[in-house]
Amino acid sequence: MKLLFRSLLLCFFISASSIIYCAEIKYSFKPGITYTYKYTFESSSSVTSLGNVKTNVQKPIYNTFTIKTIAFQDNAFVLDIEHNKSTYRRYIKPNGEIKGAVSETGTELPVFLSFPDTDWKIGESHQITKSVKIKNTDFTTVWNILLRSVNNDTGLAEIAFTATLPLPQDQLRRKTFSLNGTVIFNVFEGVVYRADWVSKYSLDFYNKEIAVIRNMWKFENELRHSLIMENLEEY
Amino acid sequence: MKKHMLVVIFTFFASVSYSQVMFDITTPFKLWLLNNEARVFSSLNLDQKLIWEMSLPFSFIPTIRTENTGAEEELWNTHRKYYRLLDDIQSIYTMTKRFGNGRLSVLTKQARPEIWSVSMFNFFMPLIQNSTSARYRENWHLTLLKALRLDAERDYNLNQRLHNSTSKLSSEEYRLLKSYFSNFSALYPGNTKIKLLQAFLERSNRNSTPIGAGIQDLLKPTQTITTDDVEDNALAELEKIAGMGESEATGTFEDTPQPEDDMFNIW
């Protein structure tokens, strides 16, 4: 009986040690290391016009880019990102926020997701609000991120994220937008190992008669993005 | 003399443009479709910019801009075919309304410019008329057709021309255009021109009474002169189907419903 109890206790400690209940998710690019990523983009769309449907599925587009870590200074990683024979220098904070992008001054940078600065419990979600300015109008984007699991053996954390965007609409133009994705973050290495995200957009365009509104066109677009680390080596 | 020439030229071009406006049956539909397209272009453009802002959520990914050509491009291509077809229908209708009764053909035959242009030389060179008249008449006729923007080969069989234009549409595109016409009719029931357009479109698939029979004699004139008006039964039938009254058939457009008060306000 005593032996059984000890065995059970040992099993409990072994299993508990492989599961972490909270983790600190932050980037930790190592100076002198080059990270190679493969980014894949797929797009499919359809338009329905008074019952007539046209679809378009584009072939996947593959891109490879590398990240060279130059240094860590003033609480930011200095990264040289090489893509298509061009190099962009970016300064990125450990939580993923961008601190600077000197070589991209004047170009519009997308909205970037950032991780919470504190310890993150499994099952806990965070909300991040960011603003986008287009044609002198501010649009507020809301990101929700959830830490699903962390594996103690592999150090891989699974993070789910969603985003909402209030697209301008009226009585004749109704729109929906959704973005969902998953990130596999390597906690030991402090880098994203894999990420997949999908955005779905639809626009319903109506014609208005005196009292009746008729659907004329429906546009739908799905964009699938995939990112995977292919290599990690010293340069 | 120069002033008189200017007046003649101005009057000629004004009459050509006026006839195009008078017999206009396609503009309200085209404006409606173009306006809808403009509204959608505006929305898609802004939305795509916003969606791009959300497309690369990690700061270590370079700004990769990918060409994203959607299914809407195919729709715009189909619409381009519609605009070309509508232009053809408009051209056939205007031509039929202007020359379909055969009066101009009779007038040109009666005018005989090849005779009066050389009549002053008849006394000195009596054979000149015989040697020059055929070429004079031919050139004069060709110039007249050019001035009237007519093409003897293209316009001789207007039914065939209409059929050639509509056969560029696939069966799906044809059905969609008919649905657009129905939608437009439901939105603007007072617009009878759309019914005429519908009738033209449906007629293109049938071998029936030729449209614009009176034009054929103008394009390839015969020697006989008939002073009676040629009845264009086919056009009359189409206008009857469209329920067009005399004022509409002659092109009074005062009561044409406008799709919107402000056509170019797309927001």
pLDDT tens-digit series, residues A137-167: 888 999 999 999 999 899 999 999 999 988 9
The pLDDT value recorded for residue A235 is 81
Residue from B50, B170, B176 to probe the interface with A (highest A Cβ count within 10 Å)? B50
A90/B59 Cβ within 8 A: yes
Probe site for chain B from A114, A129, A219, A226 (most B CB atoms < 10 A): A219
* B5 or A37, higher pLDDT: A37
Extract the runs of DSSP E, i.e. beta strands, from chain B.
none
Could you read off the pLDDT tens digit of each residue along chain B, which spans 267 residues?
456 555 545 555 555 555 556 678 899 999 999 999 999 999 998 898 888 888 899 999 998 877 767 889 999 999 999 999 999 999 888 888 888 777 777 777 777 776 777 777 777 777 776 777 777 778 888 888 888 888 877 887 778 888 888 889 999 999 999 999 998 988 888 888 888 888 878 876 655 666 766 777 777 776 555 555 555 566 666 676 666 655 454 444 334 444 444 444 444
Q: Is the pLDDT of residue A72 over 90?
A: yes
CB contact under 8 A, B75 and A110: no
CA dihedral B218, B221, B223, B224 (to 10 degrees): -40
Say what the alpha-carbon torsion angle A141, A61, A205, A162 is, to the nearest 10 degrees. -30
> Which pLDDT value is given to residue A212?
73
Distances B134 to A8, B108, B142, B151, B220 between C-alpha atoms, Å? 118, 15, 12, 20, 14
Task: With beta carbons under 8 A apart, name residues in chain B contacting A132.
Answer: 50, 53
- What is the phi/psi pair of residue A57, to 5°? -120, 120
Supply the pLDDT for residue B238: 65
Over 90: is that where the pLDDT of A190 sits? yes
The torsion region of residue A213 among left (phi > 0), alpha (psi -120 to 50) and beta comes to: beta
Name the E strands within chain A: 22-23, 33-49, 52-57, 61-73, 76-83, 86-92, 98-100, 120-121, 125-134, 137-150, 156-164, 173-186, 191-208, 213-234
pLDDT given at position B29: 93
Residue A75 in any domain: the answer is no
* Chain A nearest C-alpha distance from B256 (Å): 17
Q: Looking up tokens 């402090």, which residue turns up?
A: A190
Check CB contact of A79 with chain B, cutoff 8 Å. Answer: yes
Q: What is the mean pLDDT of residues A69-80?
A: 93
What is the per-residue pLDDT for B263? 46
Give chain B's length. 267
pLDDT of residue B244: 61
* Chains A, B: CB pairs < 8 Å: 158
* Interchain pair B61, A58: CB under 8 A: no
Residue A101 included in any domain = no
Q: Is B186 close to A163, i.e. CB distance below 8 A?
A: no
Residue A8 DSSP symbol:
H
Nearest CA in chain A to B56: A110
Q: State the distance between the two ends of chain B, measured CA to CA, in whole angstroms.
A: 53
Best probe of the A interface among B56, B59, B170, by most A CBs < 10 A, is B59
Q: How far apart are CA A89 and CA A79, in angstroms?
A: 6
Positive or negative: CA dihedral B243, B247, B251, B254: negative
Burial of A170 per CB tally in 10 Å (0-12, 13-18, 19+):
exposed
Q: Which of B59, B62, B175 sits opposite A83 (nearest CB)?
A: B62
CA distance B185 to chain A (A): 11
Residue A195 lies in a domain: yes
Enter the ipTM.
0.84
Q: What is the mean pLDDT of chain A?
A: 88
Amino acid at A30: K
Read off the amino acid at residue A69: T
CA B93/CA B19 separation, integer angstroms: 11
Sort out which chain A residues have CB atoms less than 8 A from B54's CB and list them: 110-111, 141, 163, 165, 179, 199
Cβ of A161 within 8 Å of Cβ of B55? The answer is no
CA angle B86, B90, B96 (to 5 degrees): 145
**Would you say the C-alpha torsion B117, B119, B122, B124 has a positive or negative sign?**
negative
What are the backbone dihedrals phi and psi of residue B69, each rounded to the nearest 5 degrees, phi first? -90, 115
CB contact under 8 A, A225 and B55: yes
Instruction: Find the domain containing A170 and state its range.
Output: 39-63+107-234
Q: Which amino acid is at B266?
A: I
Name the domain count of chain A: 1
Q: For A199, which residue in chain B has the nearest alpha carbon?
A: B55
Q: Is residue A17 part of a domain?
A: no
A200-223 pLDDT per residue, tens: 999 999 988 767 788 899 999 999
State percent of chain A over pLDDT 90. 63
Average pLDDT over residues A40-65: 93
Chain B contact for A176, CB < 8 A? no
